[in-house]
Amino acid sequence: MIEGSSKNKSLVDGNALFSLVMLAVIAMVVSIGAIGIVSIAKSKGTGGASASGTTTVQVTLSEFKVTLSPSSVPAGNVILNIHNAGSAEHNLAAKALSKRVPNIPVGGNATLDLGAISSPVELICEVAGHESSGMKATLGIGAASMDNMASGSETQMTNEEMDAAMAAIAKRFPEKTSVTGGQELAPKILADGTKEFDLTAKIVDWQVDAETTVKAWTYNGQVPGPQLRANVGDKIKIVLKNDLPESTSMHLHGLRVPNAMDGVDPLTQDVIKPGATFVYEFTAKEAAIGMYHSHHNGQVQIPNGLAGSLIISDWKELVMNKFASKIKDANNKIEQEVVMVLNDAGTIGLSLNGKSFPATAPYTMKVGETMLVHYYNEGLMTHPMHLHQPRGLVVAKDGKLLDSPFYMDTLNVAPGERWTVAYTATDKGAWAWHCHILNHAETPQGMKYMVTAVIVS
Residues that bind Cu ion (CB under 5 A): 383, 435, 437, 440
Residue 304 CB, nearest approach to Cu ion (Å): 18
Nearest to 290 by CA among 238, 336, 333: 238
For Cu ion, which is the closer residue by CB, 223 or 334? Answer: 223
Burial class of residue 376 in the structure, from the number of CB atoms within 10 Å of its CB (0-12 exposed, 13-18 middle, 19+ buried)? buried
In the complex, least distance from residue 354 CB atom to Cu ion, rounded to whole angstroms: 15
Using alpha carbons, select from 306, 365, 312 the residue that is nearest to residue 341: 306
Q: In the bound complex, what is the minimum distance in angstroms from residue 435's beta carbon to Cu ion?
A: 3
Cβ distance to Cu ion smaller for residue 223 or 310: 223
Nearer to Cu ion, 169 or 350 (CB): 350
Helices 5-13 and 15-31 pack at an angle, to 10 degrees, of: 110
Q: How far is the CB of 379 from Cu ion (least distance, A)?
A: 8
Q: What would the DSSP string read from start to end of 222-289?
A: BSSPPBEEE-TT-EEEEEEEE-SSS-B-EEEETS---GGGS--TTTTS--B-TT-EEEEEEE--S-EE
| Smallest separation (angstroms) from Cu ion to the CB of 443 | 13
Name the 3-class secondary structure at 159: helix
Sequence-distant (≥ 6) Cβ neighbours of residue 268 within 8 angstroms: 259, 260, 261, 262
C-beta of 295 vs 383, nearer to Cu ion? 383
Taking a C-beta distance cutoff of 8 angstroms, is the pair 71, 80 a contact? no
Closest among 39, 18, 167 to 438, alpha carbons compared: 39
- CA–CA separation, 79 vs 137, rounded Å? 15
How many whole angstroms separate alpha carbon 294 and alpha carbon 378? 10
Q: Which is nearer to Cu ion, 50 or 119 (CB)?
A: 50
> How far apart are CB 46 and Cu ion at their closest, in Å?
23
- Strand, helix or coil at 23? helix
Total H helices, total E strands in the chain: 6, 31
User: Which CB sits closer to Cu ion, 3 or 442?
Assistant: 442
Q: How far is the CB of 366 from Cu ion (least distance, A)?
A: 29
Alpha-carbon distance 364 to 21, whole Å? 10
If the CB atoms of residues 83 and 440 are measured against Cu ion, the closer one turns out to be 440
The minimum distance between CB 87 and Cu ion, in angstroms, equals 34
Return the CA Rg of the chain. Answer: 22
Angstrom distance (rounded) from CA 408 to CA 392: 6
Name the DSSP class of 130: T
Q: How far is the CB of 440 from Cu ion (least distance, A)?
A: 3
287 versus 437: smaller Cβ distance to Cu ion: 437
172 or 436: whose CB is closer to Cu ion? 436
Q: Which is nearer to Cu ion, 293 or 383 (CB)?
A: 383
Q: Please give the sequence-ordered ranges of beta strands (E in DSSP) within 353-435, or none if there are none.
A: 363-365, 370-377, 383-387, 391-397, 400-408, 410-413, 418-424, 429-435
User: Smallest distance, Å, CB 383 to Cu ion?
Assistant: 3
